[in-house]
Structure 1
Amino acid sequence: MPRMTMIEAIRDAMDVSMGRDDNVVVFGEDVGYFGGVFRCTAGLQQKYGTSRCFDAPISELGIVGTAIGMAAYGLRPCVEVQFADYVYPAYDQIVSEAARIRYRSAGQFTCPIVIRMPTGGGIFGGQTHSQSPEALFTHVSGLKVVVPSNPQDAKGLLISAIEDPDPVIFLEPKRLYNGPFDGHHDRPVTPWSKHELGDVAADHVTVPLGKAVTRREGSAVTILAYGTMVHVALAAAEDTGIDAEVIDLRTLVPLDLDAIVASVKKTGRCVVVHEATMTSGFGAELVSLVQEHCFYHLEAPVARVAGWDTPYPHAQEWDYFPGPARVGEALRVVMEA
């Protein structure tokens, strides 16, 4: 299998999907001629023409609203919001229209759109280029929410999202875009194969939405993570020597509750890790589900490790991130409880 960065894998997913289905269209700010600010769509306009890959005005509301209309008429738009931080003008369209159109029309209309967004920190982008807003979308019935942690999953999940009959929010951790990340460093390291995450299947390949995967087997404690924090969790488990099982959720909605429950019942302990701020973050939902379904198997309270409850601090970016040291401390506290 070819080796790809996450950017290349995402581009390949769109290329494969556009080649298989003429109804798939790709657009957004700087997406066409320039190929996107992160180059995820580079070459697609040259290959498929300006009617299927094109630039949009600087209007997130307009981009998403146009995509919803296209989807209602049978197209499958895969649109890019340049940074997740820019999605808020489009939030009303996503919540009030995209998420509800199937139900409001009793299935007469559907909304098969994908909204791709670079998310999280890692590029010293400060408050307006580093947010992790996944909880704003997991709360909305009718949306699916995906967060890949590696190139293979990024490609397979994106193709599945494009082929899905309903709207999908596809959050791409920009810290993982240009190369591997071993959980310890503020820049890519080599190779992806450190955790066997680097090879990407050629041509058409799908990863089902709603299926988590175990990245590290363990029996002492379960770590639930997604996106960049999967790599941090793996590093923390190695650093502490604790026999931790690391579950990569991959999709937050639909959530693989069976995989979570099976792991926590086996280990009896759980640590939840995410990059977004802690208060009302998706980790709270995970803690609630673990408490509800695994109460009689828990040997200690469930712990959360998350970003600070503060606007994103540019100068302290690598302290804001939950790193291996903070996750490791949570593991030790849970093990000693």
Structure 2
Amino acid sequence: QKIRDQLPSWIDQERSWAVATLKIALPSLYQTLCFEDAALWRTYYNNSMCEQEFPSILAKKVSLFQQILVVQALRPDRLQSAMALFACKTLGLKEVSPLPLNLKRLYKETLEIEPILIIISPGADPSQELQELANAERSGECYHQVAMGQGQADLAIQMLKECARNGDWLCLKNLHLVVSWLPVLEKELNTLQPKDTFRLWLTAEVHPNFTPILLQSSLKITYESPPGLKKNLMRTYESWTPEQISKKDNIHRAHALFSLAWFHAACQERRNFIPQGWTKFYEFSLSDLRAGYNIIDRLFDGAKDVQWEFVHGLLENAIYGGRIDNYFDLRVLQSYLKQFFNSSVIDVFNQRNKKSIFPYSVSLPQSCSILVGLSCCH
């Protein structure tokens, strides 16, 4: 109580100790901040994005790092955003997080002599996406894959030599299962003289005994869901072609796909908040999103009356819900399905004057253009 009495009255009781610590540790900074000016600081304190609205009258007197200390003391819920803003301003970056992984963009940076090692999480499998990339960039027949395991070593070496000679693509999956064989693979790679169209894709989970030489000689990327809803949505829309979005020029279909992308992002983002989001980590992947897309595609293929119960049932029992083994998690999924996939949401006239499940800053695309869809993600 004695500490509390020494601080301005506008500071909440729960933040009084943090502010008092700041006062004791950095008295000159505390004096510069003029916390006694309640009108100045109450506006800052109640701002939902306070880290971006530091009092202008003090901005030149307080360094960017000192502003982080203020956020830590007053609004620790905004500390991560404040640190990201500090990094951007200090390093001259537009944003801290990298762009979502885009294999098509990555492919343009690859070389035939450098393997591409995709580090995956348990249950993830980028091979289908690689197949689609091969279909788009090359003939689908040029793509080959081998799932590594017992008895597959000879086949892998044979396919490696053939693909290098013919300029095809080869994907060796799950190398973490055969770490003792990797020195053999390294030796073969050193003797290859591949065509310039050859690409070697490798997938592996993190393994402590993975050979360091192969790691050093490979282009390494991680295959995981992007952080945050926004980047997740952008990755989904970048993975869809304009033809996929604008098929039959059906605006209701475009709305349904946007809802699917948002639903998928929400399911993946909740994994960052275990056990509040989900009780455990569920491997919701691009294969689930792809299956959901196929359902939406069939749903709007010639049918006048959309049967949303059909979507709910398949997504709940066969796709996303098929990975869930907890009753309470399943209830969350059921609630999401009812919210995101119904006639009141997937509606061309769903404007801002109607109650929406999406944040106020997000609007449903008003055309079938993929560019419009991407703009909604911003």
TM-score by length of 2: 0.25
Q: Could you say which structure has the higher helix fraction?
A: 2
Q: Could you say which structure has the higher strand fraction?
A: 1
Say which structure, 1 or 2, has more relative contact order (CA 8 Å, 6+ apart).
1
